[in-house]
Structure 1
Amino acid sequence: MADNQRKARLIAEIGQNLAAETEFSKKGLLMIAGVAKGYLAISVFSDRGPHVAYRVTKYSRYENLLNELWSMEPLSKRWEEVEFFLKGNEFQTKFVYFEDIDPDDLTIDRWHQAAEKYFGGKPIKYPSWDDSNSWTL
């Protein structure tokens, strides 16, 4: 039972960190993270009304929390990715396991499709590589 309480606290802390993000939108904020030994990838999407904005976040806010959450699972039951979605006062967590992932799907495409589902198909604006412009998909 202590493990479940610790997991719940870790998830709650991740949710609190997301809610404290300077670009937080009560319309919706989605963080998708891929975690493995020596690997961490995070994408954050914020609902901006007519579109969704992809944002870069500070990994340092989430690195230890996500790694601890991931490592609490037995090797045979570890998830590959986790999705955290905040909208208004609602908070959802979804774990994505190896068998749920099509090996032919690229991570960026899979995460884009997940964001489209959470935000009802709104266009997603991505920043350009040099921050001078953006592009929408």
Structure 2
Amino acid sequence: MQTDGSDALLNEIGQLLAQDRDYPGVDTLLYAEVGHDYIGESIFKILGNQFLYRDPLNRRLPYALLELWEAQEGDDRWSELEYVLRDGRFDVNYFYPDEIDPEEDLADRRARSVRRHFGDKPIVYPPWDPDAFPVYDL
């Protein structure tokens, strides 16, 4: 059940996605996975004949997603969502745990979501930066 607070959070998420200075006004898909101890967000921009994966650039976005997830009433909470921002309007689809195949990889679900909303085009990911994350010798 959506509340006024949830509606405000959904609007805020759209505003946060629209703040991308490099790609303002570009159709965007946010695929997010949220649970008690994790938040994962994947952002895709449609650019002509390809999709561009964008690392989340706004520190507020995961908190807004968590607040939206926590605003749900009862124990039956969605675990993944698609948030499509197109022409200044948004559309949201929620996925509940019983709708998700636990054997299916998250990357496959994300790619299918991108194709469903924007067509079958290649997804371009930024080059891997090995210095972006700490490495530990175990």
Report the counterpart of residue 28 of structure 2 in structure 1.
29
Alpha-carbon distance in 2 for matches of 1:109, 1:37: 23
Q: Report how far residue 59 of structure 1 moved.
A: 5.5
Q: Which residue of 1 aligns with 2:46?
A: 47
TM-score normalised according to structure 1 size: 0.85
Counterpart Cα distance in 2 of 1:82 and 1:105: 16
Report if the CA contact (8 A) 2:49-2:121 is conserved: yes
Separation (CA, whole Å) in 1 of partners of 2:20 and 2:40: 17
What is the DSSP-based 3-state SS (H/G/I as helix, E as strand, rest coil) of the residue aligned with 1:93? Answer: strand
The 3 A distance-change label for structure 1 pair 24 and 85 is: farther
Number of aligned positions between the proteins: 130
Identity %: 33
DSSP 3-state at the match of 1:34: strand
SS of the residue 1:84 aligns to = strand
Once the two structures are overlaid, the 10-residue window that deviates more, 22-31 or 91-100, is 22-31
TM-score normalised over the length of structure 2: 0.85
Q: Which range is displaced more, 111-120 or 58-67?
A: 58-67
SS in 1 for 2:103: coil
Q: What's the counterpart of residue 110 of structure 1?
A: 109
Kindly report structure 1 stretches of 4+ aligned residues shifted beyond 3 Å.
Answer: 23-27
Residues 47-102 of structure 1 deviation map (CA, whole Å, 9 limit, x = unaligned): 01111111101352212211111011134221001111111133111111111111
CA distance in 2, matches of 1:130, 1:50: 25
Query: Within 2, Cα distance between the matches of 1:59 and 1:26?
Result: 16
CA contact (8 A) 1:34 1:81 kept: yes
1:106: how far off?
Answer: 0.5
CA-atom RMSD, angstroms?
1.9
Unaligned runs of 5+ in 1: 132-137
Residue 80 of structure 1 aligns with an amino acid whose one-letter code is S
Unaligned runs of 5+ in 2: 131-138
